[in-house]
Amino acid sequence: MVRKPNKKQSGEKTSIKKQLAEKEKLLQEETKKIQEYIDHLQRLQAEFDNYRKRTEQEKQLIIKQANQEIIQKFLAVLDSFELAFKTQKEDNEFTKGMKLIFSEIYSTLEKEGLKKIECLGKKFDPNFHEVMLQEESDKEEGIVLEELQKGYMLNDRVIRFSKIKISKGGKK
């Protein structure tokens, strides 16, 4: 004998179905909120990573700029050493010691990225040279005849242009 569900049982089933549908809807809403929170968290993490990278780059840039300022101040010291060596007539123990000190200072600066701009006999380049004088010579026009003051680069960036004398050409 098959029993027919009574109204009470059928009402309970629809009530359970309604509750189940409400719970599923609530679950979907909560799942959607969770996904929004996860998305927001991932964006915040990405923003923080970008911030950290940016501040590290800015820190490195500040260090480079500070190093550049210090190294630029040392260029005058290098110039003074070189001038002293040019005017020194004899090569005594004191001069040898001074040359050793000079080479230690220069090699330390080279390790920090300092590099001399080579210019003698080369064509004038406004990216590296500053023309102070021109002179007629048997060389082609624009060729560097003399370096009046050394130029330097720091990490492939000019920090002091070479002051030079170039050829006007004309003399044959």
Q: Which domains does the chain have, with CATH numbers?
A: 23-112 (3.90.20), 115-172 (2.30.22.10)
The mean pLDDT value for 36-45 works out to 95
pLDDT at 87: 87
Q: To the nearest whole percent, how much of the chain has pLDDT over 70? A: 92
- What is the rounded CA–CA span in Å between residue 58 and residue 41? 25
pTM attached to this predicted model: 0.66
pLDDT at 49: 95
Backbone angles phi, psi at 91, to 5 degrees: -105, 75
Backbone angles phi, psi at 26, to 5 degrees: -60, -40
Q: In which residue are the tokens 């679950």 written?
A: 27
pLDDT confidence band for 9 (50 / 70 / 90): low
Three-state secondary structure call for residue 135 = strand
CB contact at 8 A, 166 and 142:
yes
